[in-house]
A and B are shown apart, each in its own frame.
Chain A
Amino acid sequence: QVQLVQSGGEVKKPGASVKVSCKASGSISGISWLRQAPGQGLEWMGWISGPNGKTNYAQKFQGRVTMTTDTSTSTAYMDLRSLRSDDTATYYCARGDYGSGSYYGGFDSWGQGTLVTVSS
């Protein structure tokens, strides 16, 4: 099973940007990014295809998030800009899903999570 290892926690000021990485033990077919605010539920942010870089972002994050991949290192990145205090959350990358349409399956491998704290 593919293992996903994420970068370490970050502390950012409001208005700044954060870039979280997710390195896969094998090739990346597609990676979703999700987040979970402290004590809250899970929120899907979007998906990126490994082979061609096609993306599908949740409308809530359109214009503020950019997802990229580096196939040479099997690493996916999630860049979130204009950070606000309510962006404080643990951010996860996860494998599984085609990122659009209907998919018979769930997110079957997850990174360990990256806590991003936004505070002045």
Chain B
Amino acid sequence: DIQMTQSPSSLHASVGDSVTITCRASQYINNYLNWYQQRPGKAPKLLIYAASSIHTGVPSRFSGGGSRTDFYLTISSLQPEDFATYYCQQSYETPRTFGGGTKVEIK
């Protein structure tokens, strides 16, 4: 199975800050990489697919990039509703696997 490793596991930031989360795959996955946001008690929501394509309705302050094994998610100008946990997920092969998550908390 492909292992997905996210860092950091948590971070503290303020409203208006820019933050970047990284995700590394244990093997080549081209750009078959997706990002999700999950708020407490809620289902995950798709933010970014194919490493850098923004999903319908997602604010433009979210952006993603990378390829092969290394990827990132950037949130520019954090808003109060962005404090949540973020997961990366590979869709290169099955089983689909997720990173361990990055919790973005208010400083």
**Interface on A for B, CB 8 Å cutoff?**
32, 41-44, 47, 56, 58-60, 92, 96-97, 99-108, 110-113
Contacts and interface: CB of A to CB of B under 8 A. Distances in A.
Given A108-B55, A111-B43, A102 B92 contact: yes
Contacts of B36: 42, 106-107
B84 to A, nearest CB: 14
Interface residues of B, number: 26
Given A102-B30, A105-B34, A106-B89, A56 B46 contact: no
20 contacts: A41-B87, A41-B98, A41-B99, A41-B101, A44-B95, A56-B94, A59-B95, A92-B44, A96-B46, A101-B93, A101-B94, A103-B32, A104-B49, A105-B34, A105-B50, A105-B91, A106-B35, A107-B36, A108-B55, A112-B43
A48 B41 CA distance: 26
B94 A99 contact: yes
A58 to B, nearest CB: 4
A30 to B, nearest CB: 12
A97 B96 contact: yes
Contacts of B48: 106
Nearest to A107: B46
Residue from A97, A101, A106, A113 with most neighbouring chain B CB atoms (10 Å): A106
Interface of B: 30, 32, 34-36, 43-46, 48-50, 55, 87, 89, 91-101
B43 A110 contact: yes
Contacts, number: 70
Contacts of A60: 95
* Consensus secondary structure, chain B interface: loop
A99 B36 CA distance: 18
Contact of A32 (B45, B46, B96): B96
A111 B43 CA distance: 7
A110 B45 contact: yes
B89 to A, nearest CB: 6
B44 A42 contact: yes
